[in-house]
Amino acid sequence: MSVIPSRRSVLRGAAAAAAIPFAGSIATGSAFASSPAHRPVDLGPNVLVFDPSMGDAAIQAQVDAVFAAQAPNQFGTERYALAFKPGTYNVDVNVGFYTHVLGLGESPSDVVINGHVTVDAQWFNGNGTQNFWRSAENLTIVPPDGLERWAVAQAAPLRRVHVKGDMNLMPSPPGNGWSSGGYLADSVVDGQVNSGSQQQWLSRNDTIGSWTSSNWNMVFVGVEGAPATSFPTPPYTTVDRTPVVREKPFLTVDRHGDYQVFVPALRRNSTGTSWAHGPASGRSIPLSDFHVARPGDSAATINLALALGKHLLFTPGVYPLSAPLLVFRPGTVVLGLGLATLQAVHGNSLIEVADVDDVSVAGVILEAASPRSPVLLRVGNSFSRRNHSHRPTALFDVFPRIGGAVAGGTEVSIQIDSNDVIVDHVWAWRADHGLDGTVGWSVNPAGTGFLVNGDRVTAYGLFVEHHQKYEVLWNGNHGRTYFFQNEHPYDVPTQSAWKHGNTNGYAAYKVGDHVTEHHAWGLGSYCFFNLNADIYTDRAYEVPDTPGVVFTSLMTVCLNGAGGGGILHCINNTGDPVQNGFGTFNMKSYTNGVASV
């Protein structure tokens, strides 16, 4: 398999999707849920709820109409959730941008798709490196030809699914077949997973028949059937057990038509799925306990609902907010459907979570839409350091975005000040391409992507790209990261513009100088300085040389042409340069100033 350069081209001709021509008995596209108090809840026109009685042909027509609009709609404003009530369906679901496919059962076996749930890349000539912002969850997929295809890049999770067959993670012919990273969690694949051209991948708490192929960085945590660690040849890094995690909350409907949000319980030292031995443990919250937000709701309206004790469900759409949402009640769930997108339009933050127990924030894009927000999402504050180890707050599929769709900036994308927080899949992206007028060194400025001040924070699937200072700055003690993917900013205009003190550039991942214990597994940092300005960063990773700080399976890649610059050291002042033309460097481990290569 060929190893491919990263996303280099600016999307050309991106146009907003046309209105979707719904027809037949499902024309409204709305879902009405009866709460225990028998009050209907309108989930809005972009939540399309299907049940088998509607007929496969009618369902297929609607699914196809959504895909036709969303397949090339990389920076549009349309958002959709395709929700399947328990039952069996004979349909093929192609998943385009801002499309969330979900089963509404208690178990993945409750919704069976005899067909494909597919991400491919023919909208982009077979190049899957821009297949962002889409998801599928809580389904059983029975591909008629035995092969499921999920050819994705960042921000495209596949969760809580059972694939009764094999799975391919690269696009189909014709085209170059490139793909660029992904995330599989709490899932079963009966057959073989072929990563193909995937540059990097994280699998967590899955059960797979087998795995084949690799390129740069493949990480497995708590996965039954995972290959053994063999980094760098092939670049597999396997951690037998997942130390602490809970799964993403998800929407369900019962036989009475009443909707709930199920919040899975915390698991420790786990392998395999949460549902392997029957229904997952956890708690179910009736939808009547939620404020069901729709586009047009103001920050004041939503904050009033939170203050009155409501949880929060965002229906699909874009939400311009001029003030932060304040989450201060323990146990609050903030859940987005259809990649709901919150925009900071007044130099504000978007979500502020107090230093409390057991909050969940899941399934949202956080967008900087004004010149300089201080932070997009903050958990905790600098005044409190409580222990939350028994009921940790957790973030799932949270995707900050700076530039691309709208111009804007932020000092910090995600800041974690609380202790014991679990971060389960984030992609903090300062755009390297987008609509005209939304991308440039001073057009979409972004300082640090992921800032951790709390202790005992655990991150699974940490994707952070193109920020202009430290992409990750980890000041808290006893932190753990399982998989890190990074690209340095593409558009550095001059070396003097990207320098601090006597240091060229910024490390992609810096552990604070006073940290005494930190562990990270499976890290990849890449450079592609696309202005041919001879730009260098002195190192990709920067850590204190102390026995408690251990990095395992780390790599650097240079994608520049000649004269573009590169990365001079892998970690601290150790590791060969990658520069002035495609090159890679791998290091098995680093601790206390000693490298193993």
Catalytic residues: 487
Q: Read off the tokens for 463.
A: 């994707």
What are 442's two structure tokens?
A: 């001073």
Q: Whole-angstrom Cα distance, residue 415 to residue 437?
A: 27
Beta bridge partners of 520: 481, 551
Beta strands in 205-247 (DSSP E): 207-212, 217-221, 236-239, 242-245
What is d(CA 525, CA 566) in angstroms, rounded to the nearest whole number? 11
- DSSP track, 243-307: EEE-PPPEEEE-TTS-EEEEEEPPEEEE-S-TTTTSSPPEEEEEGGGEEEE-TT--HHHHHHHHH
- CA dihedral for 538, 481, 431, 344, sign (positive or negative): negative
Specify whether the CB–CB gap between 490 and 432 falls below 8 A.
yes
Token pair for residue 199? 């540059």
Residue 371 corresponds to which amino acid? P
b or e along 329-350 (b: 16 or more beta carbons within 10 Å of the residue's beta carbon)?
beebbbbbbbbbbbbbbebbbb
Of 535, 539, 542, 572, which Cα lies nearest the Cα of 556?
A: 539
What tokens were used for 358? 């057991």
3 state DSSP class of 532: coil
- Where residue 557 falls (left for φ over 0; alpha for ψ -120 to 50; beta otherwise) is beta
